[in-house]
Amino acid sequence: MFFANALVILWLSQPLVYANMLPVAFGRGGKPIDFGLVAPDGRPLLGPGKTWPGLFGGLFFAVMLTFGLVVVAIAFERHELYDLWGLSFTAFIVHATTLAAGALLGDLLKSYLKRRRGLERGQAWPIIDQFDAVIGGFALTAMVDWPWFREAFITRWSAVLFMFLVYYVVHRCVSFIGYRLGLKSAPH
């Protein structure tokens, strides 16, 4: 039961995981979201690490990638994997979008707070760097459709806690690999 729940949480977390990983592939050379604006404290509002192509490329392809895997699931006659999203195509789009958009907004909020704390682009803010996307994705989804969020995530809370741990480890590994491949400027 616990294992099955953990797989459900992993399956439903896809949009926020992709939304957290994809921007690095689109951001290079893109216009910064803050247009280079500087806050009253003399530091960038968000910094050059948050770009428009990263934001919208990340959002669009996170939803498309999730959709692609849902199509694969249906092709393999695992319709229940589609039903988990909320029993209609609209529900799927809404929930995949809020999970991905929330992850991206959480990341933006984190960068805003990092700059206010005097941390440069790419400087580490332990724990927050690893969980901004999960917290953002969950928060936006819970706000937009609390009944679905409660049924999908809250009722599986112990699996969610476990996935937080998995997510932490995966995030550290993926970031490190991205750094070694030269995709990311910092290993976190």
Q: What is the DSSP letter of 32?
A: B
Residue 172 CA to residue 77 CA, distance in Å, equals 34
Rg of the chain in Å (alpha carbons): 17
In the complex, the smallest distance separating the C-beta of residue 89 from ligand CTP, rounded to whole angstroms, is: 27
In the complex, the smallest distance separating the C-beta of residue 62 from ligand CTP, rounded to whole angstroms, is: 12
Total chain residues near ligand CTP (CB under 6 A): 20
Helix, strand, coil percentages, rounded to 5, for the chain: 70, 0, 30
Q: Buried b vs exposed e over 132-164: b needs ≥16 C-beta within 10 Å?
A: bbbbbbbbbbbebbeebbeebbeebeebbebbe
Residue 27 touches ligand CTP, criterion: CB under 6 A = yes
**x-or-dash string of contact with ligand CTP, 42-81, rule CB under 6 A:** -----x-xxx--xx--------------------------
- List 43, 121, 144, 170, residue binding ligand CTP (CB under 6 A): 121
Interactions with ligand CTP, residue window 76-115 (CB under 6 A): 104, 107, 111, 114
Sign of the CA dihedral 104, 108, 109, 113? positive
CB closer to ligand CTP, 16 vs 55:
55
Using CB under 6 A, list all residues that contact ligand CTP: 23-24, 27, 30, 47, 49-51, 54-55, 104, 107, 111, 114, 121-123, 184-186
